[in-house]
């Protein structure tokens, strides 16, 4: 008997309307950061939430757009998984808010936080639900990010890079094992847990006036993470799942990486010996959107009809912690 498998049947993405050009930071910081951003990281602008917009709003819009592309109603969704480390609240979950707003009356919900590796982790989790339990037929997996809410205004290392957005994919169960999900792997390097993050507002450092003055509730880069680490781990994990699937890495048609650094993406493609053109890059107009960037890139390429039936795609994510996740699908 064939095992049930998970297929990506639709995607949708949403970015806030407010666009912040690089020139904004020239004025804010009193120096030319536009030239560096364009030449070194190829970021030209990004989208930020306005004062009355937050993560649940972004997730809601991404889900609506995704469902509008298929003949599936909100009350046909069995599970909603939201990957974010910028949640609507500490508790309850962001996903339960969106479930209520959209009328997903049959859907269970939960959030996942593996920082910017969250989407790939959530995607892998959704796949496993479909494979393990026949009652899960339609699962929405969303990556969302509202990091503009947590940035320190004068911190040049973060305020120029980070941005907001959300994107979703709809997983559907099928008896077709020739395509759909193929392989995945999750991996962590926990020794980096205190190198980068938002450390205030939870049980370790509850909010009080002293913590607010120390800006513990905002994003901090405590130590510089080695630049070569992503390239090393990404290439190793990609080669491992290709070997498991018994395909050569050059047979993969599209690569969707965490969009934190275009040079890490290009270095990884070079290390793998694969044409750089196979890797999506969307940081140019969106900045760094954390858990949202991989599904946003995927949705953009889907909208451009770049992804064809029977092509292999790899999702490769990494984030603070450090956490990593990779997944291989055949479309």
pLDDT in tens, 17-53: 999 999 999 999 999 999 999 998 999 999 999 999 9
Which structure tokens are listed for 138?
A: 């339609």
Please tell me whether residue 150 adopts helix, strand or coil conformation: helix
Q: Sign of dihedral through CA atoms 119, 297, 304, 60?
A: positive
259-269 in b/e form (b: 16+ CB < 10 A) is bbbbebbebbb
**Tokens 């939430």 map to which residue?**
49
pTM for this prediction: 0.94
User: How does pLDDT run across 111-147, given as a tens digit for each residue?
Assistant: 999 999 999 999 999 999 999 999 999 999 999 999 9
Q: Does 85 have pLDDT greater than 70? A: yes
User: Taking Cα atoms as reference points, which of 129, 133, 161 lies closest to residue 148?
Assistant: 161
State the Cα–Cα distance between residues 211 and 217, nearest whole angstrom. Answer: 7
Q: Does 197 have pLDDT greater than 60? A: yes
Confidence of residue 244 (pLDDT cuts 50, 70, 90): very high
Confidence of residue 214 (pLDDT cuts 50, 70, 90): low
Higher pLDDT, 224 or 146: 146
Q: Does 212 have pLDDT greater than 60? A: no
What is the arrangement of strands in the sheet containing 180-188, beginning at the earlier edge strand?
Answer: 180-188, 323-330, 312-319, 254-257
Q: How many CB atoms lie within 10 A of CB 238?
A: 24
Average pLDDT, stretch 144-153? 94
Q: Exposed/middle/buried for 196, CB within 10 Å: 0-12, 13-18, 19+?
A: buried
The per-residue pLDDT for 90 is 93
The per-residue pLDDT for 209 is 61
User: Taking Cα atoms as reference points, which of 73, 82, 81, 126 lies closest to residue 103?
Assistant: 73
Helix, strand, coil shares of the chain, percent, nearest 5, are: 35, 25, 35
State the Cα–Cα distance between residues 61 and 68, nearest whole angstrom. Answer: 11
pLDDT, mean over the chain: 94
User: How does pLDDT run across 267-317, given as a tens digit for each residue?
Assistant: 999 999 999 999 999 999 999 999 999 999 999 999 999 999 999 999 999
The per-residue pLDDT for 195 is 87
Using a pLDDT cut of 90, give the percent of the chain over it: 85
The per-residue pLDDT for 270 is 98
User: Taking Cα atoms as reference points, which of 121, 142, 327 lies closest to residue 240?
Assistant: 327
User: Taking Cα atoms as reference points, which of 204, 192, 188 lies closest to residue 114?
Assistant: 188
Q: Which CATH class is domain 181-330?
A: alpha beta
Report the largest interatomic distance among the alpha carbons of the chain, rounded to a whole angstrom.
66
Confidence of residue 156 (pLDDT cuts 50, 70, 90): confident
Residues forming CATH 3.40.47.10 domain(s) in the chain: 5-176, 181-330
Average pLDDT, stretch 182-192? 96
Q: Which CATH class is domain 5-176?
A: alpha beta
Which structure tokens are listed for 50?
A: 């306005």
The per-residue pLDDT for 226 is 85
Q: Does 91 have pLDDT greater than 60? A: yes
The per-residue pLDDT for 63 is 98
Please tell me whether residue 188 adopts helix, strand or coil conformation: strand
The per-residue pLDDT for 132 is 95
The per-residue pLDDT for 211 is 56
The per-residue pLDDT for 1 is 46
The per-residue pLDDT for 126 is 98
């Amino acid at each position: 008997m064939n095992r049930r498998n998970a297929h990506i049947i639709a995607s949708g993405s949403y970015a806030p309307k407010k666009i912040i050009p690089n020139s904004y930071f020239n004025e804010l910081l009193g120096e030319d950061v536009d030239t560096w951003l364009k030449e070194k990281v190829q970021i030209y602008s990004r989208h930020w939430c306005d004062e009355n917009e937050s993560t649940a709003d972004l997730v809601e819009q991404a889900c609506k757009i995704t469902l509008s592309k298929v003949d599936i109603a909100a009350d046909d969704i069995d599970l909603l998984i939201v990957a974010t480390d910028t949640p609507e609240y500490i508790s309850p979950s962001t996903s339960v808010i969106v479930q209520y707003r959209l009328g997903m009356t049959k859907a269970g919900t939960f959030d996942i936080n593996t920082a910017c590796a969250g989407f790939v982790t959530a995607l892998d989790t959704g796949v496993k639900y479909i494979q393990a339990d026949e009652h899960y037929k339609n699962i929405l997996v969303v990556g969302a990010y509202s990091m503009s809410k947590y940035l320190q205004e004068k911190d040049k290392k973060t305020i120029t890079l980070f941005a907001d957005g959300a994107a979703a994919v709809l997983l559907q169960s099928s008896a077709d094992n020739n395509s759909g999900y193929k392989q995945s792997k999750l991996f962590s390097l926990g020794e980096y847990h205190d190198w980068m993050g938002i450390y205030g507002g939870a049980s370790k450092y509850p909010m009080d006036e002293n913590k607010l003055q120390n800006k513990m509730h905002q994003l901090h880069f405590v130590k510089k993470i080695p630049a070569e680490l992503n390239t090393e781990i990404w290439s190793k994990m990609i080669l491992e799942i290709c070997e498991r699937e018994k395909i050569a890495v050059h047979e993969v048609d599209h690569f969707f990486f965490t969009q934190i650094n275009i040079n890490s993406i290009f270095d990884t493609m070079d290390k793998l010996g694969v044409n750089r053109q196979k890797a999506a890059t969307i940081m140019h107009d969106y900045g760094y959107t954390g858990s949202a960037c991989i599904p946003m890139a995927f949705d953009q390429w889907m909208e451009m009809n770049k992804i064809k039936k029977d092509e292999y795609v790899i999702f490769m994510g990494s984030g603070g912690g450090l956490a990593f996740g990779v997944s291989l699908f055949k479309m």
